[in-house]
Structure 1
Amino acid sequence: MTTSYFTERVSSPVNGDAGSLLSPTTPGGAGPKSNALQNRVTSVLSASYADLEIRDALSMLDERGLQNTAETRRNLRLDVQQELIECNGEIVQDFGKVADQLKRIGTAIENLNNSCKEIRMHVDAASRESGPMLDDATNILSEKRHVETKQQVLDAFKAHFVVSDSDLATLTSTAEPVNDDFFRILTRVKKIHQDSEVLLGAESQRLGLEILEQSSRQLNAAFQKLYRWIQREFKSLDLENPQISASIRRALRVLAERPTLFQNCLDFFAEARENILSNNFYAALTGAPVDPDHPVMGKAIELSAHDPLRYISDMLAWAHSATVSEREALEVLFISEGDEIAKSIQAGIESEPWSRTDDADKMQTFNGRQALNQLVDRDLTGVLRQLKQRTEQVIQSHEDATLSYKIANLVLFYCNIFSSLTGEKSSILETLRPLSDTAMRSFKSTMRDHVANLQADAAIGSDDLAPPEFLVEALETLQVLMKSYDTSAITNDRAKRAEGFQPILQDALDPYLAGCENITRRLRTPQKHIFALNCLLATKDTLRKYSFADRSEELESRISEHEKELTDATHAWLLRESGMASLVSNISTPDDLASSYKDPKQLYTIAQQLDAFLPTATDDAREFLTQLEDRALGRRVIEQAAERFCEDFEEVEGLVLKADEMKERAVGEGEEGEVWLREVWVRTSGEIRVLLS
């Protein structure tokens, strides 16, 4: 529309003016006017219709619905001004109404200001009158809050630091039981005692001292009550019941915070248990019931007093059974609560450093196992005292070395068992080990007396060259001792077992072997060697049954020595009985046989004696060694002696042959009337070996 509007304005001249407007010049001085109009038209035509203001103006013209006529163009400005004047008039009227309203508002505001002034005057007057009362109310509220804070502090203080009368009665009164309430209140009082120390570092030192003193009295009374209650419970405590009261264990753990009271309780308990176990042991010995109302039927140990070893064994077995039972029962009291008791004792020592003693220092490192072992030791003191007396009576009343040694081994066996139960430093071992030593001293004393009594018998041997009776008895006794040692030995180490048994061999065997040697020195050969071999072989056979007592190496050297001597004696006997002794001892070269050529009678006689000896030589040799009890050894001696005899015969035979050869070279072969030794000495070494095999 805008384009069409300007097109109509340019293309349609009105009243013939269009040509003049577009004409560049007009005559008669119209040039400047035409130039101004032309410039304006040019500026209008060169204007951009995209400008917002032009577009808005054209839009307003379009909204009016005006026609592009000359009338409209002439009246456009007037119309616009007329509308502007009308609009301004309406605005003036509206502002007049606004002015009226503002006047009314101003009047209202003025009224309000007046009212505010009056209210302010009344408020000031009221403030002047109520000011003191407000100050008093503020002070009162402040004091109220302060009082409420103090009340809360007091309530909290009473709730934490003050124990009620009922709780105090539960804590200190002996009429009240020791139950969970007691321990709960005791824990609270200990907490109060601990927290009161904080007050000592604050401004309320006097209050802290009073609470500390009061809580200390209450704690002392509570621990005294607990101490007496535990003592009463210990009197009626049944250790045979595996379900020991948990309250006792808890009470002991708590009482450990007072090491002195705790130790006193242990002493009291140990004394009571010592009396009970002593009475039970006496009842087991005699068969008398401990409780007449509840007799326990059982065979009295003293009924086996005729058998000393069984009598002592039964007493030791009873003591071992009592130790195991006592230990199992007391483990519930100490081992399960061992760490807690140690902590409680440590806490008690630290809280009461002025009461610390040497014993307290020892208890400072409380060991549950060690305390248990010590308590078991103290409980069995009475039993061990009776056991020691009766065992010593048995040892002193029987002069039997075997019995004494068995008792020593039996006691030592139980020592090893008790050491694993109660430790190496227990009083039980301190009692039993001296008993073993006493029995061993009795054994050695009896053996020395027995050896002394056998001095006369040891001077004379038997005619059959068998081991003497005292050696046989000693070996029988030694067998019993070795069996006892084997059943009671605690180690499987062969070297240690052998080392432990050597002192027994020195007392129970060596003196008898020495007696046999004395007899041996008084005998002649070969009886001395046969007797020594019989004794040594019997000893060797006895000792080899147990590896820890085996002396085969030591005895074998002595046996070999006597075997060699007996072989020499048998060899000499063969030479003597066969007649060859003179030949072997006197002839060493062929020249020594020269005289036999002149008088061969002696050589002939020896040859006949040899022929007579050879058929029964072996039997005669066996008869010669018939008193040697070891037949295998006898055969070996005969074989060795026969071998040496054969070697001697071969040597003599060789000399005879050499002598004949020398004579043959001297006189010639086949000389009649000459004597040849080979014709006299007709036996050969082969024949000798066959006959002596």
Structure 2
Amino acid sequence: MATSYFAERATPASQDLLSPASPAPGAASRGSNALSARITSVLSASYADLEIRDALETLDARGVQNTADTRRQLRLDVQKEVIQCNGEVVKDFGQVAEQLKRIGTAISSLNKCCDEMRGHIAAANRETGPVLEEATSLMQQKKQAETKQQILNAFNSHFLISEDEITILTSTAEPVNEEFFQTLTRVKKIHHDCQVLLGTEDQRLGLEVLERSSRQINAAYQKLYRWIQREFKTLDLENLQINASVRRSLRVLAERPTLFQNCLDSFAEARENILSDSFHAALTGHTSESQNLVTKPIEFQAHDPLRYVGDMLAWAHSTTVSEREALEVLFISDGDEIKRSIQAGLESEPWLREEGEREVFDGRKALNQLVSRDLTGVARLLRQRTEQVIQSHDDATLAYKIANLIGFYNSTFVKLLGAGSEVLEVFDALESSAMRQFRANMRDHVAAVQGDLAVAPANLSPPDFLEEALQMLRTLAKSYDTSIAPVDSNDDGFHTVLAEILDPFMSGCENLGKGLAAPDKNIFALNCLMAVKTALTPYSFAKDRLSELEDTIGEHTAQLVEYQHQYLTYTSGLGTLLEALSDISNTAESLKTIPELDAFKPDALVGASQQLDEFLPSALIDAAENLKRLQNRTIVQNITGEAAERFCEEFEFVESKVVAADDLLYREEEDEQDETTTALRNLFPRTSGEIRVLLS
């Protein structure tokens, strides 16, 4: 529409410019300039401006046609419309003004009512003010009273216990049951929470509650202490239900270390009496209540002294194991509960803590000490009976067997009770007493045997007293091997036995051998030594003594080998030749002098060869005949064989010298063409190979 508007607008202007009735040229130029300026102004306007665009849209909406009448009337129409709109607005505002007047009248009426109401309210406030203040004060007092009541109820429920609970806690007529422990736990908590009360400004209440709870706790512990003591007197260690209640009571009582220790002392004393009566009943068959037992008493059943002592020790061991197991359930099954309770008690009672004490309570150590104290009476009675058995018998073997048996049980009790147990002192004393009795009996036996020593047996066999000693030694070694050796690897204990039971008799044999000539002296010594070696060989704990015996046997064997070697050398005639060759060296000049020696002259050498030939067929038999009283045939063969070997080596030496001398002499004769000299080999024809065959 804007385009058509400008087109229609431009057309009349152009027509006016070309019309004949146009003004004069001056006026025309001014009109043309005005038009040009107008056109320029219109064309220079920005049609993108919002106001122009809105105006054009308004014209377009009104449906205005671009005509000359319309353009002339447009302003008037617009102004007319504006005047009409203003008139309507004025009319509407008049109505609004009338409404505002009515509203002002209503507001004035409301303000008057409000003023009247304010007056009435102020009068009412003046009349009800004191009542409200009094009511507010009463409400505050009520609230404070309710708060105090709640605090009092909370205090009574937390810091006070009822009379029934006090009776349960302190009365000895009431049992020690779950209610007792619950009440005690609650009173302990009250006692602990009193610290909160002591931290307030008014400490009187806290002190009173603290004092009351302390009295109640002390009374409860006294009741628990007396109840445990009564239970200990009739305690059945096999009843697990009873043990559970006693265990809990002990765990609680441990918070009072003094009372706990007193209970342990009372328990140990009661158990000591019970176990002593039981041991006496097991020995004699009668209890302190004069009741006969079903089992046969040890004193009537064990006729052998060793079995009697063994039965007593076995009873003590069995009782110790049972006692330890029962007390372990009683004191150790709860883990470290007792230790923690004692620690808590020492923290609350620091004056009970010893200076430098680090470990408060060791359950295992305390258990071992308690079991040891329980067995004190049994150990005392066991020591009396065992010492009576040891001192009433003169048998050294029996005394040593008893010592070994006690040593075995001693090592067993060390594992059960620990190394610091007082019961072990009894076992050590009994073992020492038995060993003293053993040594005394052995010295008496040796003294009696030494008076009967005369001469060695004709067959050079071990004397009877040595055989008897070896038989006793086997018995003692077997006893030692079955008792101590599997437990203790230390073999020093058997050296004492050897020193007491073997060395004196070996010395006696040595004294008997001093009166014999060679080789009987060595044969007798070897027979005795081999008998001792045979007796000790099965036992590893005698290895040191066996090593000493081997050395001594080797010395005597070497002496017999030397004797046999001398016999073979001089009986065969070879000794004369060896003595003659003792000064001969391996030089040619020295070897040439061999035929000039007396032993190597033809007649003497032929005689030596004949003597050797006569000796060789029966040489080994004759040599073995010298050792026929040596009981170990293996040693006889070894000695004879070694002597024969040395004989063969010496024969080879003589043979080598003879052959060397013949070689030198024959070479000289060949050079001098002289064959008058007889070869030494022809006079002494035996070879070392033949000798070895004949002596093999």
TM-score (normalizing by structure 2): 0.82
Q: Deviations over 1:220-270 (max 9, x none)?
A: 111112212222332332212455542222211111000011111111222
User: Aligned partners of 1:445, 1:175: CA distance in 2, in Å?
Assistant: 64
Q: Which residue of 2 aligns with 1:530?
A: 523
Kindly indicate whether residue 502 of structure 2 is the aligned counterpart of residue 512 of structure 1.
no
Q: Which residue of 1 aligns with 2:635?
A: 633
Q: Secondary structure at the match of 1:457?
A: coil
Q: Secondary structure at the match of 1:443?
A: helix
* CA distance 1:652–1:207, change in 2 (3 Å): closer
Q: How far off its partner does 1:455 sit?
A: 1.8
- Check the 8 A contact 1:21/1:34 in 2, yes or no: no
Q: Which residue of 1 aligns with 2:161?
A: 163
Of 53-62 and 399-408, the range deviating more from structure 2: 53-62
Query: What's the % identity of the aligned pairs?
Result: 59
User: Aligned partners of 1:76, 1:595: CA distance in 2, in Å?
Assistant: 191
Within 5 Å, which residues of 2 pair with 1:33-52?
A: 43=41, 51-52=49-50
Q: Deviations over 1:197-233 (max 9, x none)?
A: 2322321211111111111001111111221222233
* CA distance 1:52–1:306, change in 2 (3 Å): closer
Kindly indicate whether residue 537 of structure 2 is the aligned counterpart of residue 539 of structure 1.
no
Kindly indicate whether residue 559 of structure 2 is the aligned counterpart of residue 559 of structure 1.
no
User: Aligned partners of 1:123, 1:507: CA distance in 2, in Å?
Assistant: 130
* CA distance 1:555–1:113, change in 2 (3 Å): same
- Check the 8 A contact 1:529/1:562 in 2, yes or no: yes
Q: Secondary structure at the match of 2:460?
A: coil
Q: Which residue of 2 aligns with 1:316?
A: 313
- Check the 8 A contact 2:401/2:476 in 1, yes or no: yes
Q: Which residue of 1 aligns with 2:404?
A: 409
- Check the 8 A contact 2:342/2:361 in 1, yes or no: yes
Amino acid at match of 1:417: T
* CA distance 1:321–1:560, change in 2 (3 Å): same
Q: How far off its partner does 1:593 sit?
A: 8.1
Q: How far off its partner does 1:535 sit?
A: 1.4
Q: Which residue of 2 aligns with 1:673?
A: none
Q: How far off its partner does 1:462 sit?
A: 2.8
- What is the aligned counterpart of 1:151 among 144, 149, 152? 149
Q: Deviations over 1:104-146 (max 9, x none)?
A: 1111111111111111222222222222223223333333333
Amino acid at match of 1:320: H
Q: Secondary structure at the match of 2:175?
A: coil
User: Aligned partners of 1:555, 1:6: CA distance in 2, in Å?
Assistant: 155
User: Aligned partners of 1:48, 1:516: CA distance in 2, in Å?
Assistant: 156
User: Aligned partners of 1:22, 1:123: CA distance in 2, in Å?
Assistant: 97
Q: Which residue of 2 aligns with 1:448?
A: 443
User: Aligned partners of 1:355, 1:158: CA distance in 2, in Å?
Assistant: 34
Of 51-60 and 112-121, the range deviating more from structure 2: 51-60
User: Aligned partners of 1:309, 1:372: CA distance in 2, in Å?
Assistant: 31
Q: Which residue of 1 aligns with 2:124?
A: 126
- Check the 8 A contact 1:257/1:346 in 2, yes or no: yes
Amino acid at match of 2:171: S
Q: Secondary structure at the match of 1:297?
A: coil
- What is the aligned counterpart of 2:295 among 290, 295, 298? 298
Q: Secondary structure at the match of 1:454?
A: helix
* CA distance 1:525–1:125, change in 2 (3 Å): same
User: Aligned partners of 1:44, 1:371: CA distance in 2, in Å?
Assistant: 123
- Check the 8 A contact 1:416/1:490 in 2, yes or no: no
User: Aligned partners of 2:617, 2:91: CA distance in 1, in Å?
Assistant: 189
**How many residues end up aligned between the 2 structures?**
666
User: Aligned partners of 1:584, 1:66: CA distance in 2, in Å?
Assistant: 176
- Check the 8 A contact 1:330/1:372 in 2, yes or no: yes
Within 5 Å, which residues of 2 pair with 1:100-249?
A: 100-242=98-240, 245-249=243-247
User: Aligned partners of 2:263, 2:169: CA distance in 1, in Å?
Assistant: 20
Q: Secondary structure at the match of 2:453?
A: helix
Q: Deviations over 1:147-200 (max 9, x none)?
A: 333233222222221122222222222233322222222122111111212322
User: Aligned partners of 2:12, 2:652: CA distance in 1, in Å?
Assistant: 188
User: Aligned partners of 1:391, 1:57: CA distance in 2, in Å?
Assistant: 142
User: Aligned partners of 2:150, 2:25: CA distance in 1, in Å?
Assistant: 118
User: Aligned partners of 2:581, 2:49: CA distance in 1, in Å?
Assistant: 174
Amino acid at match of 2:307: R
Q: Deviations over 1:323-351 (max 9, x none)?
A: 11111111122222241111110110110
Q: How far off its partner does 1:684 sit?
A: 7.4
Q: Which residue of 1 aligns with 2:464?
A: 469
- Check the 8 A contact 1:227/1:255 in 2, yes or no: yes
Kindly indicate whether residue 245 of structure 2 is the aligned counterpart of residue 251 of structure 1.
no
- Check the 8 A contact 1:458/1:516 in 2, yes or no: no
* CA distance 1:40–1:422, change in 2 (3 Å): same
User: Aligned partners of 1:58, 1:649: CA distance in 2, in Å?
Assistant: 163
Amino acid at match of 1:528: K
Pairwise CA RMSD of aligned residues? 4.6
User: Aligned partners of 1:655, 1:10: CA distance in 2, in Å?
Assistant: 173
Of 326-335 and 522-531, the range deviating more from structure 2: 522-531
Amino acid at match of 2:334: E
User: Aligned partners of 1:302, 1:83: CA distance in 2, in Å?
Assistant: 151
User: Aligned partners of 1:669, 1:180: CA distance in 2, in Å?
Assistant: 132
Amino acid at match of 2:547: E
User: Aligned partners of 1:444, 1:200: CA distance in 2, in Å?
Assistant: 76
Kindly indicate whether residue 332 of structure 2 is the aligned counterpart of residue 335 of structure 1.
yes
* CA distance 1:134–1:457, change in 2 (3 Å): same
Structure 2 spans left out of the alignment, 5+ residues: 583-593
- Check the 8 A contact 2:276/2:377 in 1, yes or no: yes
Q: Which residue of 2 aligns with 1:425?
A: 420
* CA distance 1:533–1:201, change in 2 (3 Å): same
Structure 1 spans left out of the alignment, 5+ residues: 671-675
Kindly indicate whether residue 343 of structure 2 is the aligned counterpart of residue 346 of structure 1.
yes
Q: How far off its partner does 1:447 sit?
A: 1.0
- What is the aligned counterpart of 1:261 among 259, 262, 266? 259
Q: How far off its partner does 1:456 sit?
A: 1.5
* CA distance 1:150–1:647, change in 2 (3 Å): closer
Q: How far off its partner does 1:458 sit?
A: 2.5
User: Aligned partners of 2:57, 2:631: CA distance in 1, in Å?
Assistant: 162
User: Aligned partners of 1:11, 1:648: CA distance in 2, in Å?
Assistant: 173
- What is the aligned counterpart of 1:499 among 488, 492, 504? 492
Q: Secondary structure at the match of 1:189?
A: helix
Amino acid at match of 1:302: E
User: Aligned partners of 1:654, 1:98: CA distance in 2, in Å?
Assistant: 172
* CA distance 1:119–1:623, change in 2 (3 Å): same
TM-score (normalizing by structure 1): 0.82
Q: Which residue of 2 aligns with 1:460?
A: 455
Q: Deviations over 1:577-605 (max 9, x none)?
A: 999999999999977789999xx9xx99x
- Check the 8 A contact 2:237/2:243 in 1, yes or no: no
- Check the 8 A contact 2:16/2:22 in 1, yes or no: no
* CA distance 1:502–1:629, change in 2 (3 Å): same
* CA distance 1:109–1:587, change in 2 (3 Å): closer
Amino acid at match of 2:633: R
User: Aligned partners of 1:683, 1:46: CA distance in 2, in Å?
Assistant: 168
Q: Which residue of 1 aligns with 2:86?
A: 88
Q: Which residue of 2 aligns with 1:479?
A: 474
Q: Deviations over 1:583-632 (max 9, x none)?
A: 999999977789999xx9xx99x999999998877666655544332334
